[in-house]
Amino acid sequence: MASGSHYGQGREFRQLNQGKPHGFLHHVSNHSAADKNMKEISSESLCTHQSQTSVCVQQEEVVVASQCVEAGSKMAGPGNKYSDYFTELSKDHDAMTRVLFGRNLRLNVALTLWRRNASELVAYLIRIEDTGVLLDCLPVITKSLQDETPCISLGCCVDLLPQVKSILTSEYEEHLIVVLHWVQSVVKKWWPELSTNGKSLLDSCSEDRNLQVMKQQLKEFWVEGPQLSLVPGTTGEMAKAIESYLSQLH
């Protein structure tokens, strides 16, 4: 009986002990939930604090920057002595920006006219009298003259030659090479017609008149030729090649 009573008490004791962890876990669970809520609240408070701090910093930067500008305008120290240099430099950059914008605009117009009709492009180049745009467009016109079926007529070249001639006195070799390439292409393209004695200017057709005018213009054009032939390098070689043709014109 005693043993049975002891067994029953032990069983009851174990049952009581087994019930304790549930209460403990429940307490821990509640404590963890509270910690989690505290962390979330702390996180939200931190974000709000950081946001407010960021706004304050930005406002402070604006105030400091405005104060620096105001103070800088009143400074008379060594750093302010050469501030005009930066002002002039900014003006130069503004001027360059305007030049490039204008050049880009005119090149877009030139491209549109080229796609439409080459003669319209030539008329446009003559009208605007822009040496830079002309130099940009001449390589395309030169390439067209080298094709079997060029879209540039002799009349267009006659109209364009006076403006091209004005570049022949340039001090930049790149400009001279572009011009000489164009002249060489014109001469080679119509050399069979240019090298023969054409009809009278008054009695000839439109194409023959253009040939006579081109021949005369080329003779006048090559006044600078002998000087260019003395230039070493590509410019001199091209000038000599053109001179070998033009010297045969009567």
Q: What are phi and psi of 248, to 5 degrees?
A: -90, -10
What span, in angstroms and rounded, lies between the C-alpha atoms of 218 and 11?
127
- Chain-centroid distance of CA 217 in Å reads 38
pLDDT in tens, 118-170: 999 999 999 999 999 999 999 999 999 998 777 899 999 999 999 999 998 88
User: In 127-150, which positions are buried (b, 16+ CB within 10 angstroms) versus exposed (e)?
Assistant: eeebeebbbbbbeebbebbeeeeb
Look at 95 and 46; give whichever has higher pLDDT.
95
User: In 170-192, which positions are buried (b, 16+ CB within 10 angstroms) versus exposed (e)?
Assistant: eeeeebbebbbbbbbbbbebbee
- Chain-centroid distance of CA 239 in Å reads 34
Residue extents of the structural domains in the chain: 130-246
Q: What are phi and psi of 26, to 5 degrees?
A: -60, -40
Radius of gyration of the chain (CA): 44
pLDDT in tens, 174-200: 999 999 999 999 999 999 989 886 554
What span, in angstroms and rounded, lies between the C-alpha atoms of 207 and 213?
10
What span, in angstroms and rounded, lies between the C-alpha atoms of 39 and 47?
12
What span, in angstroms and rounded, lies between the C-alpha atoms of 165 and 234?
19
pLDDT in tens, 1-52: 444 444 444 444 344 344 444 443 444 444 444 444 444 444 444 444 455 5
Q: 164, 120 in Cβ contact below 8 A?
A: no
What span, in angstroms and rounded, lies between the C-alpha atoms of 147 and 149?
5
Q: Is the pTM of this model over 0.85?
A: no
Single-letter amino acid, residue 160 = L
pLDDT of residue 235: 92
pLDDT in tens, 199-247: 544 445 677 788 889 998 888 877 756 688 888 999 999 999 998 898 8
* Total Cβ atoms within 10 A of residue 126: 14
